[in-house]
Structure 1
Amino acid sequence: MQVNLVSERDWLYLLASIPGLGRVKLRMIYERTGSFTAAVKKWDTISCELGLPAVITKAIFDLQKEGAAYIILHERIAKGIQYVCFLDDDFPEQLRHIPDPPLLLFYRGDLQLLHKPAIGVVGSRKPTPYGRASCAHFVKELVQAGLVIISGVAYGIDGEAHETTIKNNGKTVGVLGCGIDQVYPLRHRALYEKIAALGLLISEYPPGTPPVPGLFPERNRIISGLSHGTLVIEAAEKSGSLITADCALEQGKDVFAIPGPIFSSLSAGPHNLIKQGAKLVTRSADILEELGHFFHTKPELGSSQTANENFLNKEELTIIEVVTHEGIHVDDLVCQLEPDLRKSLHQILFRLEAKGVLVSLAGGYFAKR
């Protein structure tokens, strides 16, 4: 096979697909030769200089055999595997300038979302009702303001952020810690497909890469790198979400934190961030005033609930007075109501949720938006 007949970006794909040849080595190879094509041509020298294992060297020589590379490239096309790399003009500019930038991104969905104003939303994988309600409230208003929501498709706050965005007809980007063809966690398969169809899924790891624990902290730098700021909603003192916040600070990005109850262990992360200089936020306007120059419209936020409450009947207003922003379980709600309201409680809650005044949370909790 003539090496020159394979494009630079295709050689990057081929090399990145070799197990054990990660972005650090690939970057070193490119910096030494200025071209992946040139590197493949003199692979004997390059492999010796970098001390690459024999198994990697053999894999490169196998690719140079007649037709071997073309077979793999045709398989990629047949499988619908799409990627954008640092050699492309449409590679997201903001990722070119972060520490340890990715060399390529595999994707499913609308790649143009990487070029729109965005905010990262991260938090606990086991949030409280207060955390879920906070996420639903803030994400809805940030979406209405025109921001793309970026998160990691994990349980908890990540999933809540993606679901709320989709529910409110917004755009969301999911950054994976595994191959683009892997669904993790498995219970998020439906969410995975919704994001791919209505938003964007991306991964820097080749298809087939399993969800190895060490990859998830790495992907956090991409969440913050693609975002103009990162919002942290509930996180324990040593939560993985704080890695994203640290990446954002290292990248010179804004970090926003929602305060929580002082007796909750999940408030420790946001509170520590606030002590270290993160912006304390209690309303969406606190975020939008910092990021407002990234988008064109400045909608009036916080008015939808007031408008909806003007159309509530006496029974609905009674329920609203009992439900808090922190969330209340339906059983506790029943105990605080008069007997005549208890019988129709579920119907009233359904109406209030439809009117956008309440949000239904996992485990039978409801919270005021």
Structure 2
Amino acid sequence: MNKLEQIALTKIKGVGPKTSRTLLAYCGSVEQIFKTSKKQLCAIPGIGEITANQIKSKAYLAEAERELNFIEKHNIKLLWIEDADFPKRLKNCEDSPLVLYYKGKASLNPERVISIVGTRNATAYGKKICNQLIEDLKTLNVQVVSGLAYGIDIQAHKASLKNDLSTVAVLAHGLDRIYPTSHREIAEKMLENGGLLTEYPSETNPDKTNFPARNRIIAGLSDVVVVVEAASRGGALITAEIANSYNRDVCSFPGGIDQEYSAGCNYLIKTNRAHLIRNANDLCYLMNWSTEQKKPASKQLSLLPPELSKDETVVYTYLAENEHATIDEIALFCDWPQSKLAIILLELEMNNIILSSPGKVYKLI
């Protein structure tokens, strides 16, 4: 597929991720979007004359060509939403970017991903529990995602590097710069066992409005979002709210009732927006993560219920081979939208074929 056209689609004024998905659904491919007539474009729901004129003007092509030259010169990988190496967890989110720019060596589809977020004004308490959490997760070989910001973000990246865990930073600007600049050295080290990821092209400044949008990617990449420290308002709470909307698990460390940077964590727990955790063991219990090796394929495969549909058989077979799995792990394997998977899981549960446990974990009965 033509990378120039993929980039060009993101350069059209008034065309965001959701509108782009609509265009793809009606036109069939990114190439066909640019070949479709103005009249046909105007007939697509949500695509009016102004947007159709923007698409047909092709004024954005020169900008797309500059971006293509930039990523090729700096060995930046362009990830299109239909590519096999595009993050599958994020792909299932309805407002996922269609294009990501990535520099690094780590896969964005590892077995386990934890996003760690928190205040930029991390206290000694917050840094301590962040370090301890990551140290205790080392044997699970999780990938740690955060935002390279001051405070808890950079602490999570540093602790991951120290414990040889893959760590990915999601940026609110282009890959032609690092913000804050004081974190450049850490960012460069992350390229060896992690990476830098953004939806923004080069020459994009770290504007204030970019950070909430960036947070949806941090949430969408993960199996679970952990809020270490947070005030009553801020980006960490936004990320937690988005994660809940994506049907991701959210966990939070409690803090003193008189501590400013524990107020947000305590609020998330109080309002059932996050599970209370005290350590890595609590997190692993919630997520049903274990360091034990997977057992051979279950003999239950030979007892496959005859009344299962084709889709139900896919889920049944996966659970028989993996003993138990979270809804995100199953969605990742099946490559289905969670809305479709949720219906199938409910049907299997109602028929007493599978059992659901805390943390949206499923296993065969």
Secondary structure class of the residue paired with 1:231:
strand
Q: How does 1:181-192 map to 2 (within 5 A)?
A: 181-192=176-187
Q: Deviation of residue 50 (structure 1)?
A: 2.8
Counterpart pick for 1:285 among 281, 285, 292: 281
Contact 2:67–2:201 under 8 Å retained in 1: no
Contact 2:11–2:64 under 8 Å retained in 1: no
Partner of 1:15: 9
Q: Distance in 1 between matches of 2:64 and 2:180?
A: 33
Secondary structure class of the residue paired with 1:124:
coil
Counterpart pick for 1:90 among 64, 77, 85: 85
Which amino acid is the alignment partner of residue 283 of structure 1? N
Contact 1:95–1:101 under 8 Å retained in 2: yes
Q: Percent identity?
A: 35
Q: How does 1:117-266 map to 2 (within 5 A)?
A: 117-266=112-261
Contact 1:177–1:203 under 8 Å retained in 2: yes
Question: Cα distance 1:116–1:131, how it changes in 2: closer, same or farther (>3 A)?
Answer: same
Q: Deviation of residue 202 (structure 1)?
A: 0.7
Counterpart pick for 2:49 among 38, 51, 69: 51
Q: Distance in 2 between matches of 1:163 and 1:72?
A: 31
Is 1:99 aligned to 2:101, yes or no?
no
Q: Distance in 2 between matches of 1:11 and 1:70?
A: 9
Structure showing greater Rg = 1
Q: Deviation of residue 69 (structure 1)?
A: 7.4
Q: Deviation of residue 57 (structure 1)?
A: 4.5
Q: Distance in 1 between matches of 2:60 and 2:149?
A: 38
Is 1:27 aligned to 2:21, yes or no?
yes
Contact 1:113–1:200 under 8 Å retained in 2: no
Partner of 1:42: 36
Question: Cα distance 1:211–1:70, how it changes in 2: closer, same or farther (>3 A)?
Answer: closer
CA RMSD, 1 decimal = 2.7
Secondary structure class of the residue paired with 2:217:
helix
Q: Deviation of residue 297 (structure 1)?
A: 5.7
Question: Cα distance 1:82–1:19, how it changes in 2: closer, same or farther (>3 A)?
Answer: farther
Q: Deviation of residue 275 (structure 1)?
A: 1.1
Q: Distance in 1 between matches of 2:19 and 2:11?
A: 13
Q: Deviation of residue 63 (structure 1)?
A: 3.6
Partner of 1:114: 109
Q: Distance in 2 between matches of 1:54 and 1:31?
A: 16
Q: Deviation of residue 279 (structure 1)?
A: 1.6
Contact 1:18–1:59 under 8 Å retained in 2: no
Question: Cα distance 1:293–1:181, how it changes in 2: closer, same or farther (>3 A)?
Answer: same
Question: Cα distance 1:59–1:182, how it changes in 2: closer, same or farther (>3 A)?
Answer: farther
Q: How big is each residue's C-alpha offset from its partner over 1:54-82, in whole Å with a ceiling of 9 and x where there is no partner?
A: 99457516749xxx977864554233231
- Deviation larger for 264-273 or 137-146: 137-146
Q: Deviation of residue 200 (structure 1)?
A: 1.3
Secondary structure class of the residue paired with 1:126:
coil
Q: Distance in 2 between matches of 1:107 and 1:232?
A: 25
Secondary structure class of the residue paired with 2:50:
coil
Q: Distance in 2 between matches of 1:138 and 1:221?
A: 23
Q: Distance in 1 between matches of 2:162 and 2:275?
A: 27
Contact 2:106–2:166 under 8 Å retained in 1: no
Q: Distance in 1 between matches of 2:113 and 2:99?
A: 20
Q: Distance in 1 between matches of 2:67 and 2:151?
A: 38
Partner of 1:360: none
Which amino acid is the alignment partner of residue 129 of structure 1? A
Secondary structure class of the residue paired with 2:120:
coil
Show structure 2 runs of 5+ residues with no match.
Answer: 295-365
TM norm structure 2: 0.72
- Deviation larger for 229-238 or 198-207: 198-207
Q: How big is each residue's C-alpha offset from its partner over 1:200-220, in whole Å with a ceiling of 9 and x where there is no partner?
A: 111112222211111111111
Secondary structure class of the residue paired with 2:107:
helix
Counterpart pick for 2:267 among 269, 272, 289: 272
Q: Distance in 1 between matches of 2:66 and 2:216?
A: 33
Q: Distance in 1 between matches of 2:200 and 2:119?
A: 24
